[in-house]
Structure formats: structure tokens, C-alpha cells
Amino acid sequence: MPREITYREALREGLDEELAYDDNVVIIGEEVAEYNGAYKVTEGLWKKWGDKRLIDAPISEAGFIGMGIGASMLGIRPVMELMFYSFAYVAFDQMMNNAATCRYMSGGLTNCPIVVRGPANGGTNVGATHSHTPENIFANMPGLKVVSPSDPYDVKGLIKSAIRDNDPVYFMESTVLYGMTGEVPSNDELEDGELIVPIGKAKVKREGTDISLIAHGRAVLTSLAAAEILAEKYDINAEVLDLRSIRPIDENAIMETVRKTHRAIYIEENKPFCGIGAQVSSMIMEQAFDDLDAPVLRITSADAPAFYSPPIEKLQLPTPEEIVERALTIC
Amino acid sequence: MASKSSNKSSTNYADDPINKSLSNEEKIELLRTMVRIRRFEQTSLKHYQGDKIGGFLHLYIGQESVAVGSISLLGDNDHVITAYRDHGHALTVGMGMNECMAEVFGKATGCSKGKGGSMHYFAPDKNYWGGHGIVGGQTPLGAGLAFALKYKGLEGCCLCYLGDGAINQGAFHESLNLASLWDLPVVYIIENNGYSMGTSQARSSAHPEEGLAARAEGYNMAWDKIEGVSIYEVRAGVQKAVERAHKESRPSIIEILTYRHHGHSVADANAEKYRTKEEIQRYKEEHDPIEFWKQTLIAEKVITEEDYKKINSEAGAEANEAADFALKSPFPEESEIFDDIYWEVDNNTEAGRTGRHFFHK
């Protein structure tokens, strides 16, 4: 029976293993050490690794993330936690200018091996300021990498890749996923002795032949639920492709599934304007136009700030029913 | 301890041990470096006006003693980061005139291969981390370089320069809090030339009567305010902070009073409107750091007027040769647009080959 652990535990295991793997890995963020993590991702790590490796930061994102970027130029591998990815906006200059462009402006003399991780999701009734999904904003900037894992296996494998990567990786999780369980083999079950998921590789989560539901983050789960309904009620066999990485993007996997099913919908909890779906549908149109039997559709969160009122906010996010409804218009 | 360093027992900075230890050759080198910076910039200005240089050109002329005096104190584990008025720091850490001149000309032989320009010089091999264009944006990075030194157990420090206009940026205040809270060996050097672009200090900064650096007290941090015209005073003042960083792993703010002869940048059309011509003239005549140091060394009989002329003409020739080098150098190839963005791509690693990184065309 394969081992099942939560997304949160898998993430913590990945962090723990990388703390052991490289002395230069240091975890810094608000409440990550003594408090054990605002969302308990780092629970127990301070006790195990001590003050040098886990550092509680003051509420000062521009300061401590910028500090991490500076330290990374000298070979430290800071893993910075944002309690919410929405708080990236107060560190925007550091994350957009310094992390992304120092390498270019120095003609390749510097690099910033920093990871900035935290939950980037809406749907938890915390209002608009705490519900931002900035994967498209950061993926817009060459020099940055953006990752959005949707299950425990990937979150562990990808955090390890992100920490070992020599470029800045912005690692976007979801508070809604932290408690989700899934299969994550222990290291002694693995041939390589550790679980690594490469950045830039998508994963087919459900094989299908009739339509491709392409998604990232929690929208992958919504898509999987929609695929079940499509199969059961409408005899439509949907393929679900989880991008996992936004930038770099697995273009081949996208084209492969489109060439197989000839229909595609991109589903994300991000906003529609210049969202990931806009990028992906443009790529499909350019490269697989002749393979399409229908226009590529996009399903996103509602184009409005996050609504506080719980029953209404629910309506802002993609649902399996919405995916089914839209899929039926092109199948 | 939150207090201004009490190092003013003697105002004869030449007698400070750190200055007493200077050999004549070292004193001449300090002069030579300042003169080289000035001639480099005067030459770049000429070519800027001749349309050979794009964008901005922020001249350091008048402030040379700050970079030259402070950087002369540094050892192998000490690092430097600054803002966009960065030519002086770059030449002082040992970057060559050719690569620096070629960079402002936008040439492939520039220190950043033409990708950074005047504001973004880097030389990690010389512990020099830029060259940063956003006002105050480098101040958390300075704390980070200091963090890395401390993390690795090295006895070193980071000199992080900023202008007086940068002290009102939030990132700077956040950096001060972190530096003091975490005992980071960083020395923030405020190069106070009196103007944040065209806005005078009086119109831009609220601060204690004692000066801008006195804001340090709010962060339980040591500070000092020194007159920048004299290399001796700069060295004596900054040395205290460097030692504090090395021995106590404590940060400092050092405010150094200085003056820029030119505008905020060469494109500053109002350089003689927000400052009177008389004020500029007075600083040029009475507070020029090169003239001041030259006279000091002549009085000490370290150099003669003839020696100075030779240094000046050699620096001028070097700058002209650098401009020739820059003019003759090729522009970067269009194919280089996609180099130096991702380390993994540049190094053709498996990670660099996995997935699509670029979306142009």
C-alpha cells in the first residue's frame, strides 16, 4: 500500500530534505520558526534545525525578500515564505526588478537562487487583498520561474527542484490544498533515493480522448471532478493535463494532448485578462490550429476582486459544473 | 548601542591610526583613483553630448572622495553595492575604464555586455554587486550580502551606498530594521549631496536636527555624520563602522556630506535652477575633494604640482583610450538578447533544457 501524506506534510518533507542536502538552504519568513508556520508548513523544522536555518522575519516583505535576494547572490539558498502570496505585492520591486533582472543587467555575472513560496489562492473568504493569484504577473517577467503544484507528490518533488535551481523560482501553493492527501512514496521506495519533479514538465492526470482540460494549481482538481461528470453523464472522455510549471511551460505536453483530443479548455483560478489560459490558448492557436475542432475556451475566476461573502465567493471560482457546461458547447 | 559614534576627540583626521598607516604610495593611489573617476566621467559626458551614449548618465563628479576613501578600507571579505551613480565605486573596486566606458556606449565589450548601461555595473569577482537603478532598491540587497557573510561565518561587511533621496524609501527602513534586529554587518553610507534629483533635502526629508543618519537611533543603530571633502575624514569615519561590522557584527549608518557638480543626471535640465550658480561655484571652488586631497598631499610633500599634472594627464589619456576602445568595439549581436536571463538555460543544464522558457515569436 503506497504511503499517503498531506500536501502540507509533503511540502515539509521536501523542505526538510533540502535543509539536510545543502547547508546554504535557509528558511526565512513570518512565523516560520517558533510559531511553526502560519499554515504549519514548517512545523517542527525550527526545533530540528535551530535558529540558523529557520528564521522568523518581521512583517517586512520588501525587506526580508530583498535581503534574501542579496544573500542568494553570494551563494545562500534562501527559501522565503510569504504567508500569503498576496503579500508579494509589497515586495514587488525586489521580486520583479532585483531577482529577475540582476543577471541580465550584469551580463550574466550574477544569479539569484532564491525560492519565494506561499499560498496563492482565493476561495477562503478573506477578501480581495488576501486572495490574489499572481502567477501570470510573475510569469510575465523573463528571468523568473513560476511553479504551481496541485498534489502532494508534485509539491514535494517540485520544492526540491526549486531549491536546487539556480534561478529565482516563485512557488505558488494553495491553502485549500494543504490538507489534501495523496500518494508520496518514501525515499526508500524510490530507485533514486529521493523524489524530484523537474520544473517545466506537465503531467497527464487523467487520460482521455475527447477534450483536453488543461489547468494548474487547484483548478486541476476541479477539472478532474468535471471529467468524472463528463464521463458519467455525457459519455465524454476528457483528458486532464496539469501544467505544474507555468514558466518554463511544457509546450510539448500541451500540443500533444490537443492533437489527441482536438478540443481544449484552460481552467485556472487566476483572473482572465492575460491569464495563463490566454497564453496557452494563443500557443495552441499558433501551433495546433489545424488540429482544433473547436475554439479553445478559457475558464477563470470571475473578473472581479474576491468577494468576501462565502456563498458568493464560491460562485467566483471555476466549478466542475461550469467546466461541464462549457465543455458541452464544444463537444 | 544607539548612539552617534564618539570619534570626534581629535578633528585632525590625518592622525587617525587608519590614516597614519597610509604610505605615500597609497595616498597617491587615492588621488589617482579620484582623478581617474573624474576624467572617465568628463570623457563620458563629452561622448554623451556627442550622442554616442544613450539613456541616463549620472555623474559622480564632486563626490569622488566618498567611494575612494571608504572602499580603500576594505579587505577580501568586504563587499560593495550601490545605486545608479555607480561609476566611481566601480573604478575604485578595480573595474577597468575600457569595460566601463564600453558599457555606457552599449557595446559588447562592456562590463555587462551592453545589457546594463551606466546605472548597472557589476563585478562580483571584485565583490561589487551593482549598480542599481531603483532608488533605495539596493538597500535590502546590501543587508542580504551582509547576511550571507554572517551566515558563512566570514569576518566581513557590506558597504551599501545610497543617496540622500533614498532614505525615504520604505525598503531602506525595512532594511535598517532587519540589519539591526539580526546584527548584520552592513554599513549604510548615505552620500548626502543635498538634493534628491531637483528637490532639496529641506523639501524632501524630515529628520532629527543632527542629520539624516540620526534616524538610525530609531533602529537602535550606531551612526555618524562626516564631511566628505576629505579622504582622511571619510576613512576615519567609515573605518569605525567597518570595524563595528567586523568585530561586533553590528550595522551603522554613515552620512557623508558631499556635493555633485553636475545635475542629477546629464539630462537634468534644471541643474542650475533648483541650485544657484553661486552655490555650485562655491562647492567647486571650496569643496572639491580632488583639489582638497591634492593640496593635502602637496602640503605633506607627498606630491608636487608637477606630479599632479602627470596623474591628471595620464588619467585623461586613459579615459580617451577607453573611449576609443568603446567606439571601436562592436555592438552586441541580436542573438544575445536571450542570453543571461536564466542561469540554467545559459549553462545548458537539464533544467535549462526542460520546458519552454521564452515566448517571443
Report residue B190: phi and psi, to 5°. Answer: -85, 115
Query: Which one of B113, B115, B171 has the shortest CB-CB distance to A66?
Result: B171
Best A109, A170, A192 residue to mutate vs chain B (most B CBs within 10 Å) = A109
**A117 grid coordinates:** 513560496
Say whether the peptide bond before residue B131 is cis (omega within 30 degrees of 0).
yes
H/E stretch holding A204: strand A203-206
pLDDT digits (tens, 9 = 90+) for A65-84: 999 999 999 999 999 999 99
Of the candidates A18, A30, A81, A130, the residue annotated as catalytic is A130
Cβ neighbours, 10 Å, residue B214: 17
Please identify which of the residues A13, A61, A81, A239 carries the catalytic annotation.
Answer: A61
pLDDT number for residue A2: 83
Least Cα distance to A284 among A217, A212, A222 occurs for: A212
- Residue B163: strand pairing partners: B191
Shortest distance, CA A98 to any CA of chain B (angstroms): 8
Per the annotation, the verdict on A216 as an active-site residue is no
Q: Which of residues 123-152 of B touch A (CB under 8 A)?
A: 123-125, 129-134, 137-145, 147-149, 151-152
Q: What are the pLDDT tens digits along chain A (331 aa)?
A: 789 999 999 999 999 999 999 999 999 999 999 999 999 999 999 999 999 999 999 999 999 999 999 999 999 999 999 999 999 999 999 999 999 999 999 999 999 999 999 999 999 999 999 999 999 999 999 999 999 999 999 999 999 999 999 999 999 999 999 999 999 999 999 999 999 999 999 999 999 999 999 999 999 999 999 999 999 999 999 999 999 999 999 999 999 999 999 999 999 999 999 999 999 999 999 999 999 999 999 999 999 999 999 999 999 999 999 999 999 999 9
Rounded to the nearest angstrom, the minimum Cα separation between A231 and chain B is 31
Query: What does DSSP say about strands B199-200 and B195-196: parallel, antiparallel, or unpaired?
Result: antiparallel
CB burial class (10 A; 0-12, 13-18, 19+) of residue B170? middle
CA-based nearest residue to B244, from B171, B190, B191, B188:
B188
d(C-alpha B124, C-alpha A189), whole Å:
43
Specify the pLDDT at position A299. Answer: 98
Residue with cell 543635498: B194
pTM: 0.96
The pLDDT of residue B1 is 39
Tens-digit pLDDT profile for chain B (361 aa)? 344 544 444 479 999 999 999 999 999 999 999 999 999 999 999 999 999 998 999 999 999 999 999 999 999 999 999 999 999 999 999 999 999 999 999 999 999 999 999 999 999 999 999 999 999 999 999 999 999 999 999 999 999 999 999 999 999 999 999 999 999 999 999 999 999 999 999 999 999 999 999 999 999 999 999 999 999 999 999 999 999 999 999 999 999 999 999 999 988 888 889 999 999 999 999 999 999 999 999 999 999 999 999 999 999 999 999 999 999 999 999 999 999 999 999 999 999 999 999 998 7
Active-site residue, A61 included: yes
Q: For position B7, what pLDDT does the model report?
A: 45
Contact (CB, 8 A) for B284 and B217: no
Min Cα–Cα distance to chain A from B1, Å: 21
Pairing of strands A169-173, A115-119: parallel
Q: Which residue of A23, A51, A96, A106 is the best one to mutate when testing the B interface, meaning the one whose CB has the most B CBs within 10 A?
A: A106
- Cβ neighbors of A248 (< 8 A, separation 6 or more) are A145, A199, A200, B354, B355, B356, B357
Whether residue B113 contacts residue B332, with contact meaning beta carbons closer than 8 Å, is answered with: yes
CB atoms within 10 A of CB B20: 9
- In chain A, the residue whose alpha carbon lies closest to the alpha carbon of B146 is A71
Q: Is B274 on the interface with A (CB under 8 A)?
A: no
Taking an 8 Å cut-off on Cβ atoms, the answer to whether B340 and A107 are in contact is yes
Residue B45: other Cβ atoms inside 10 A = 16
CA distance A296 to B321: 59
